[in-house]
Structure 1
Amino acid sequence: MKLHGVLVLFITFSIASGLRCYTYFTVEPNTCTGVLTCPAGYDRCASVESEGLIVKSCLQRAECISPIKCCDKDLCNGAVPTGPGIILLLLSPALMMLFI
């Protein structure tokens, strides 16, 4: 029962903390590591490229018009993955199963 309480608390906290988006303003693609928790009222992550300039940030839903690409999930506006790949994540439990 305690596990369910922790799960509910975690989900509530993640929803209350707001949407997280990659944010940067650069001409170099694949260099984004900045993450921003969007302020209240900003419910979309946005990405736009124009004349070689790349901008990623938080936007309001009404501001998402072409050519701006918007999405509504955490860190969905694309960047270079900074964490371990899926293979490493799957490898850990497999190794644990072998040695336990």
Structure 2
Amino acid sequence: MQLIGVLILFLSFSAASGLRCYTCYTTEPSNCTFILTCPDGLDRCISAKVNDLITKSCVPRAACISPIKCCDKDLCNGAVPTGPGVTLLLLSSALMMLFI
């Protein structure tokens, strides 16, 4: 019974803590590591690139217009393209599984 109470407390805390987004203004996407808990009214994470400046932050839903990319999950605006490295890693893992 206590486990159910702890589970309910955990779920309500995570729902009440708000959306978390990466926030930065930079030219290098790997430098964007600061995490912000969005204040009330800002319910989307954004990522936009204009010229060479990358902007990531919290915004209200109404601000989600092109070329701004919006999402509504925790830290969803922090993905950096991985390139062919991940594909090669998966391929080598698959080949190892065939021969093990």
Normalising TM by the smaller chain, what interval?
A: 0.7 to 0.9
Which has more helix, going by share of residues?
Answer: 2
How many residue pairs get matched? 80
Q: TM-score, normalised by structure 1?
A: 0.76
What displacement does 1:52 show?
Answer: 0.6
Equivalence for 1:7: 7
Structure 2 distance, partners of 1:65, 1:7, is 38
Q: Which has the larger radius of gyration?
A: 2
Contact 1:19–1:74 under 8 Å retained in 2: yes
Mark the runs of 5 or more structure 2 residues left unpaired by the alignment.
Answer: 81-100
Structure 1 range deviating more: 55-64 or 1-10: 1-10
Equivalence for 2:38: 38
Equivalence for 2:20: 20
Contact 1:27–1:54 under 8 Å retained in 2: yes
What displacement does 1:21 show?
Answer: 0.3
Amino acid paired to 2:41: G
What displacement does 1:79 show?
Answer: 4.3
Q: Sequence identity of aligned pairs in percent?
A: 69
Contact 1:19–1:38 under 8 Å retained in 2: yes
What displacement does 1:22 show?
Answer: 0.4
What displacement does 1:18 show?
Answer: 0.6
Q: After superposition, what is the alpha-carbon deviation per residue over 1:40-87, rounded to whole angstroms, capped at 9, x for unaligned?
A: 01100000001010000000001000000000000000146xxxxxxx
Q: After superposition, what is the alpha-carbon deviation per residue over 1:5-44, rounded to whole angstroms, capped at 9, x for unaligned?
A: 1111111111111100000000112111100000001100
Q: CA RMSD in A?
A: 1.1
Equivalence for 1:54: 54
Amino acid paired to 2:5: G
